[in-house]
Amino acid sequence: MLRIAVQSKGRLYEDTMNLLKEAGIKVSSTKRTLLVQSSNFPLEVLFLRDDDIPQTVADGVADIGIVGENEFVERGFEADIVKRLGFSKCRISLAIPKAIEYPGVEWFNGKKIATSYPGILRKFMQEKGIDINVHVIQGSVEIAPGIGLADGIFDIVSSGSTLVSNNLKEVEVVMQSEALLIGNQDLTDEKKAILEQLLFRIESVLIADGKKYVRMNAPKSQLAAITKVLPGLKSPTIIPLADEDWCSVHSVLDEKQFWEIVGQLKALGAEGILVTPIEKMIL
């Protein structure tokens, strides 16, 4: 049995549970107990505060955990980064009141900065040769300048809307963060084998994310040009049709490039373009 530590609430909780669901791992979420066992995979889920996950994994209370990179770096506990998961992305930034003109990072010299990430902040400022007064606060960091508690803040930024609503502006991005799958450094061979099975499922889900399966009919006279537009994972699949002058072309597209490429395909004579979402992709 492999034990995974998961954030007990918030966006990372939702993203993690969706990932496990897409990986075919059934975990009851109706009863928010501390420890829940999967009904169809040798995995039990331990629900914790996000800042407790790095130590829990490092100490072996949990074998693996999914945690924000910001929390993992801040806590500084010894654990392996098993996989970068690519979701729950954000950045940790310095922000100051909008009305203040910002000349550069030297503005922070001698200032009081409110943050929940003092370790990352101090390291950054030491590298820049800036002396600051760190005020550690948990939650609602963005209100600190408005109530006179600090001159600026160092906090997580996603859309930036929270900063705007508190009359703050982002002036320095210190680090980018995403969800990490971390692991204890002393897993048994049995647990490593279960982790490999879990990784296989997770990777199949993540690879398929944002991908579309595309099929179309194409004139053979334009096939060379069309295959250049559609490289696919290795190369497009070409299937003969009853009409000898035409063939069926199958490929996988990244959703970010979809409309641009479809426009090129139509210009090259492709017809009957059919687009299908991909749930899993096994390489």
Same-domain pairing of 94 and 171: yes
Instruction: Work out the percent of the chain whose per-residue pLDDT is above 90.
Output: 74
Portion of the chain with pLDDT greater than 70, in percent: 97
The pLDDT score that the predictor gives to residue 228 is 86
| φ, ψ for residue 100, nearest 5 deg | -85, 135
Q: Are residues 185 and 49 in the same domain?
A: yes
Domain boundary among the residues 177, 194, 224 is at 177
pTM for the model stands at: 0.83
Residue 243: how many CB atoms within 10 A of its CB?
Answer: 10
54: CATH: 3.40.190.10
Backbone angles phi, psi at 51, to 5 degrees: -75, -10
Q: What is the pLDDT of residue 233?
A: 61
In a domain, 282, yes or no: no
Under a CB-based contact definition with an 8 Å cutoff, are residues 217 and 250 in contact? no
Question: Is 173 domain-assigned?
Answer: yes
Q: Domain for residue 35, yes or no? A: yes
In a domain, 265, yes or no: yes
Q: Does residue 267 share a domain with residue 139? A: no
Evaluate whether residue 283 is within a structural domain.
no
Three-state SS sequence of 214-260? EEEEEEHHHHHHHHHHCCCCCCCEEEECCCCCEEEEEEEEEHHHHHH
Six-digit token string for 105: 């990072």
Considering the domain architecture, whether residues 185 and 215 belong to the same structural domain is answered as no
Q: Are residues 65 and 197 in the same domain?
A: yes
pLDDT tens profile 222-235: 998 998 888 656 67
Among 26-30, 108-112, 259-263, which is the least confidently predicted range? 26-30
Domain that residue 245 falls in: 211-277
Q: What is the pLDDT of residue 259?
A: 85
Q: Which amino acid is at 279?
A: E
Residues 260 and 143 in one domain: no
Task: Give pLDDT tens digits for 117-158.
Answer: 999 999 999 999 999 999 999 888 999 999 999 999 999 998
Contacts of 179 (CB under 8 A, 6+ apart): 12, 15, 16, 66, 67, 68, 69, 84, 85, 86, 87, 88
Of 281, 201, 283, the residue nearest 234 (C-alpha): 283
pLDDT per position as a tens digit, 60-91:
999 999 999 999 999 999 999 999 999 999 99
What CATH number corresponds to the domain at position 267?
3.30.70.120
Residues 68 and 188 in one domain: yes
Q: Mean pLDDT of all residues in the chain?
A: 92
Asked if residue 32 is part of any domain, the answer here is yes
pLDDT value at residue 254: 84
* Domain count within the chain: 3
Same domain, 74 and 202: yes
Helix (H, G, I), strand (E, B) or coil at 162: helix
The pLDDT, as a whole number, for residue 278 is 85
Q: Which of 48-57, 78-87, 257-266 has the lowest mean pLDDT?
A: 257-266
Query: Residue 149 has what pLDDT?
Result: 92
What would the pLDDT profile of 240-255 be if each residue is shown by its tens digit? 999 999 999 998 888 8
Are residues 160 and 122 part of one domain? yes
pLDDT at site 160:
84
- DSSP helix/strand/coil, 109: coil
pLDDT on residue 208 = 85
**Quick check: is 155 in a domain?**
yes
d(CA 78, CA 156) in angstroms, rounded, equals 23
Residues 249 and 109 in one domain: no
- Of 125, 156, 177, the one marking the end of a domain is 177
User: Which residue type is seen at 137?
Assistant: I
Whether residue 111 is found in the same domain as residue 251: no
How much is the pLDDT for 235? 76
Residues 184 and 195 in one domain: yes
